[in-house]
């Protein structure tokens, strides 16, 4: 199910991007000592106490600024507040409370969302007393943090995690295949939903970004139950687009998390652009079954080689998703549309397929016998046995003498051998190595 969402909100230059980087353990956000440098919300995933969560880094809210960027940044922050399960309200412990902080506090009060107050730039114990004035904002105990030094991040996450919603049960059940359609605006996702359903359930408009939210549509076909999740179009960060479209990225990520199968919709008329790769990457990283759906194929000028050339183009651009099948359809004319759901059903089955341990080990043993692992500084990797530990996606653990001897190229070789023996088309595989303990 969808992960809890933390939104980091505050006026410019209080250090939100630095804290964002700490929470997700990465340096996605541009950190620069200049107010308002974060122009767009960034999205990342973190983990705390075995609980995975999403984080939104907002541009600073400037209450009185008439500047268009600052206006848009405030709207973004308001949208992030709406989307969040818990809000981290960042203030600057060196500067103290400002009028902008007080107005942001009022905005947060009106949201009726849980708020954790984080006082940043408390870089040492002597500065601890700087937090006390922030009690007057009315959000309970302020938490002293230092993004620069990584101080107080655990306390901040403990406080935020108390407000995470409890896991909700899947309302549709295990046997229902949940299908999310993702893609940049105007590739025809809503038209595709309507064509599959045979009726106009979703508003279709030629204006890019008409679909603002994820819309669930349950239906049944040939005895199999499905739910189509149509998402708002995703657009590239860093360019000035309508703020509601920026907001839609988090909705799309939530839809991907809820889905079993993700349809990566590509505009056959326009071809592949870089943003398509970013969008497909979300599905791959989430470990979802996936297939490429090339839409608007009816308007493409083609000969007997066009389809193969387009497929090869997809393979060249999406090397990380070589497992995903490619289908060519037209939502407008319903060309080849009848082939889509059978492929969806098939990749969903592969996504939840479990291989018996003894059968898996026969394949792995044969692969190791044909191509033994290379030596590293005189030491050779020994693969003792393998077992599948999870499905959705299929996850396999190799127990070895030393995990550090498992080179990524040899792991890829084993994956290829496993894929050649079992039909895992349409699903990523997660492969891990662990040291075989002496008592096993």
Instruction: Tell whether 96 is in a known binding site.
Output: no
16 is in an annotated binding site: yes
Distances from the Cα of 355 to the Cα of 11, 210, 350, 388, angstroms: 53, 43, 10, 7
281 is an annotated ligand-binding site residue: no
Q: Residue 122 annotated as binding? A: yes
377 is in an annotated binding site: no
Judging by beta carbons within 10 Å of its beta carbon (0-12, 13-18, 19+), is residue 244 exposed, middle or buried?
Answer: middle
Please check if 44 is assigned to a binding site.
Answer: no
User: Was 276 annotated as part of a binding site?
Assistant: no
The answer on whether 403 is annotated among ligand-binding residues is: no
Q: Is 339 known to sit in a ligand binding site? A: no
Q: Is 123 annotated as a binding residue?
A: yes
Q: Is 60 annotated as a binding residue?
A: yes
Q: Are 373 and 409 in contact (CB under 8 A)?
A: no
Instruction: Tell me if 7 is assigned to a ligand binding site.
Output: no
Q: Per the structure block, which two tokens stand in for 364?
A: 């792995």
233 is in an annotated binding site: yes
Nearest CA among 191, 205, 206 for reference residue 337? 191
Q: Has 13 been labeled as part of a binding site? A: yes
> Which residue shows structure tokens 């082939």?
339
CA 169, 171, 174 angle in degrees (round to 5)?
85
Instruction: Consult the annotation and say whether 50 binds a ligand.
Output: no
Find out whether 231 is annotated in a ligand binding site.
yes
Judge whether 142 and 134 are in contact, CB under 8 Å: yes
48 annotated ligand binder: no
Is 189 annotated in a binding site? The answer is yes
Query: How far is residue 51's CA from residue 395's CA, in Å, rounded to a whole number?
Result: 19
The CA distance from 329 to 174, in Å, is 28
Residue 57 annotated in ligand binding:
yes
Q: Is 232 annotated as a binding residue?
A: yes
296 is annotated as contributing to ligand binding: yes
Residue 295 known to bind ligand: yes
298 is in an annotated binding site: yes
The structure tokens listed for 343 are: 């492929």
Was 90 annotated as part of a binding site?
A: no
Return the beta strands (E) in 64-201 as ranges: 86-92, 115-120, 143-144, 177-182
> 396 with 429: CB under 8 angstroms?
yes
Provide the β-strand partners of residue 354.
none
CA nearest 393: which of 250, 290, 315? Answer: 290
14 assigned to a ligand binding site: yes
Q: Using the structure block, give the residue that is written with the tokens 């070895």.
A: 400
Q: Which residues are annotated as a binding site?
A: 10-17, 57-61, 120-123, 183-190, 230-234, 295-298
Binding-site residue ranges for GTP: 10-17, 57-61, 120-123, 183-190, 230-234, 295-298
């Amino acid at each position: 199910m969808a992960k809890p969402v933390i939104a980091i909100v505050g006026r410019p230059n209080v250090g939100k991007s630095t804290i964002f980087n700490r929470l997700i353990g990465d340096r996605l956000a541009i950190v620069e000592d200049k107010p308002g440098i974060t122009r767009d919300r960034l999205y990342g995933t973190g983990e705390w106490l075995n609980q995975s969560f999403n984080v939104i880094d907002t541009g600073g809210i400037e209450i009185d600024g008439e500047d268009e960027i600052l206006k848009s940044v405030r709207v973004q922050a308001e949208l992030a507040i709406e989307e969040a399960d818990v809000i981290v309200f960042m203030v600057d412990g060196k500067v103290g409370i400002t009028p902008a902080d007080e107005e942001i506090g009022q905005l947060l009060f009106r949201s009726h969302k849980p708020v954790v107050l984080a006082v940043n730039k408390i870089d040492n114990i002597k500065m601890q007393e700087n937090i006390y004035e922030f009690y007057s904002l009315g959000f309970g105990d302020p938490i002293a943090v230092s993004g620069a030094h990584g101080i107080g991040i655990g306390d901040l996450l403990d406080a935020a995690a108390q407000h995470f919603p409890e896991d909700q049960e899947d309302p549709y059940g295990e046997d229902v295949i949940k299908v999310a359609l993702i893609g940049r605006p105007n590739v025809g996702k809503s038209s595709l939903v309507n064509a599959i359903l045979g009726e106009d359930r979703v508003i279709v408009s030629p204006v890019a970004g008409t679909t603002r939210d994820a819309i669930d549509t349950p239906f049944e076909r040939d005895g199999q139950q499905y739910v189509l999740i149509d998402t708002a179009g995703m657009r590239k960060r860093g360019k000035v687009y309508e703020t509601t479209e920026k907001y839609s990225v988090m909705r799309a990520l939530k839809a991907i998390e809820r889905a079993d199968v993700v349809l990566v919709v590509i505009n056959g008329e326009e071809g592949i652009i870089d943003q398509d790769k970013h969008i497909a990457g979300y599905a791959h990283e989430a470990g979802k079954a996936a297939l490429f759906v090339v839409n608007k194929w009816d308007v493409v000028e083609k000969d007997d080689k066009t389809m193969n050339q387009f497929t090869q183009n997809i393979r060249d651009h999406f090397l990380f998703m070589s497992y995903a099948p490619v289908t060519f359809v037209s939502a407008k004319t319903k060309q080849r549309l009848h082939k889509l759901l059978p492929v969806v059903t098939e990749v969903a089955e592969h996504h939840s397929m479990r291989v018996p341990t003894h059968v898996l080990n026969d394949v792995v043993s044969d692969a190791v016998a044909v191509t033994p692992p290379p030596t590293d500084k005189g030491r050779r990797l020994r693969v003792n046995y393998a077992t599948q530990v999870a499905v959705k996606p299929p996850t396999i653990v190799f127990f070895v003498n030393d995990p550090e001897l498992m080179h990524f190229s040899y792991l890829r070789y084993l994956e290829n051998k496993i894929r050649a023996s079992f039909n895992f088309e349409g699903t990523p595989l997660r492969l891990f190595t662990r040291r075989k303990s002496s008592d096993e």
